């Protein structure tokens, strides 16, 4: 007949055989542990121990401080995998600048820090220096040396385009001047002067002639006149006295009250035509007359050279205030 009492909760003490088996088992485990730690002591480093994922989750901090109490037995137990993960805030991800190194690298590993990212700086723009503009040197002519007596006048008028017919790097200072060439020079020096006379229809100057406008200008502005029989004679070499008289007329120089006395400065004053006495005296008093090689030698009837005309044209422009006055030993001064 079976007993209705439950079995007793008391356990029988271990026997000698069981104690010996337990000691042998623990000794064997100790020997194995000793053997493993002797070959690789780093195995005991706590940093190399791996635990189940359940122990690697961060501890949950309660929202409000208080005493932590265990959950009631009726609460559902959740597995580590079912634990809800809090959502990440809406923050734009930031790209790492380089490879992230572990906080504590393994023993024996050489860590090379990543190279800093060089800031891309554009190369400075290389600007080529601007080429200097070629400087215009002084006017030079092979037939007008530096010490030539009329060089200052010639250079000044060529620079102002009054003389514009120089070719082959030559000025030809000693060549004769024609009436048509003088008309061109006067037109360039006085192109702003208003006409005071009517034009003359010269029978030896064609309308289509290239010098016709210059001749009309010099006649209407009072510089030049024609010859009898309605002739201008454009190709005739002009004498010095006509150059002096033309400049005095065009500048409207006043008639000299002491013409005879003024002409006493010239040793060849008797050669001055009667019609030109007052003009030559007025031009002399105005400082327009230039004589070379002797200042006292007028040579009124000799053909004027290009150099002599250049000197007297410049002096006429200086009288009008168009150019600065130049000092020369060949300019006649009273």
pLDDT digits (tens, 9 = 90+) for 219-259: 999 999 999 999 999 999 999 999 999 999 999 999 888 99
Q: Which residues, in sequence order, are bridge partners of residue 239?
A: 303
Cα R_g (the chain), whole angstroms:
61
User: Do the beta carbons of residue 298 and residue 240 sit within 8 Å?
Assistant: yes
How many Å apart are CA 333 and CA 283, to the nearest integer? 11
Give the residue from 228, 184, 176 showing the smallest Cα distance to 209.
184
Give the phi and the psi of residue 280 in degrees, each rounded to 5: -65, -40
pLDDT value at position 51? 45
What residue ranges of the chain have pLDDT lower than 50? 1-5, 46, 51-85, 89, 91, 129, 131-137
Quickly count helices (H) and strands (E) in the chain. 9, 0
User: Do the beta carbons of residue 67 and residue 61 sit within 8 Å?
Assistant: no
User: Do the beta carbons of residue 166 and residue 158 sit within 8 Å?
Assistant: yes
pLDDT value at position 37? 66
CA 271 to chain centre: 64
Per-residue b or e along 169-187, where b marks 16 or more CB atoms closer than 10 Å to that residue's CB: eebbbeebbbbbbbbbbbb
Tell me the H-state helices in the chain.
Answer: 16-39, 53-56, 151-159, 179-189, 212-220, 240-250, 259-262, 277-285, 306-319
Give the predicted TM-score (pTM) of the model. Answer: 0.60
CA 257 to chain centre: 62
Tell me which DSSP letter residue 59 carries.
P
pLDDT value at position 53? 45
pLDDT digits (tens, 9 = 90+) for 2-18: 444 455 555 556 677 77
């Amino acid at each position: 007949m079976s007993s209705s009492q439950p079995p007793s909760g008391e356990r029988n003490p271990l026997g000698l055989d069981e104690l010996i088996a337990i000691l042998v088992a623990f000794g064997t485990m100790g020997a194995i542990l000793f053997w493993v730690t002797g070959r690789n002591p780093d195995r005991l480093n706590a940093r190399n121990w791996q635990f189940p994922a359940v122990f690697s989750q961060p501890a949950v901090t309660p929202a409000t401080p208080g005493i932590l109490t265990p959950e009631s037995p009726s609460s559902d137990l959740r597995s580590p995998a079912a634990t809800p993960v809090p959502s990440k805030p809406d923050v734009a991800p930031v790209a790492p600048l380089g490879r992230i190194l572990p906080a504590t690298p393994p023993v024996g590993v050489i860590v090379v820090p990543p190279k800093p990212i060089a800031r891309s700086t554009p190369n400075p723009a290389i600007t080529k220096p601007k080429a200097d503009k070629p400087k215009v040197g002084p006017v030079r002519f092979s037939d007008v040396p530096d010490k030539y007596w009329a060089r200052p006048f010639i250079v000044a008028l060529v620079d102002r385009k009054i003389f514009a017919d120089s070719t082959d790097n030559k000025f030809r200072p000693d060549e004769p001047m024609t009436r048509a060439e003088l008309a061109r020079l006067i037109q360039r020096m006085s192109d702003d002067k208003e006409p005071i006379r009517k034009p003359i229809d010269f029978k030896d100057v064609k309308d289509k002639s290239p010098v016709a406008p210059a001749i009309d200008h010099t006649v209407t502005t009072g510089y030049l006149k024609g010859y009898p029989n309605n002739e201008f004679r454009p190709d005739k070499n002009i004498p010095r006295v006509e150059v002096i008289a033309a400049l005095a007329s065009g500048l409207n120089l006043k008639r000299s009250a002491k013409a005879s006395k003024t002409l006493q400065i010239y040793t060849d004053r008797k050669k001055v035509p009667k019609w030109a006495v007052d003009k030559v005296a007025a031009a002399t008093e105005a400082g327009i007359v230039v004589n070379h090689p002797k200042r006292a030698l007028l040579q009124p009837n000799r053909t004027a050279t290009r150099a002599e005309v250049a000197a007297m044209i410049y002096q006429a422009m200086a009288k009008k205030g168009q150019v600065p006055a130049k000092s020369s030993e060949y300019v006649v001064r009273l």
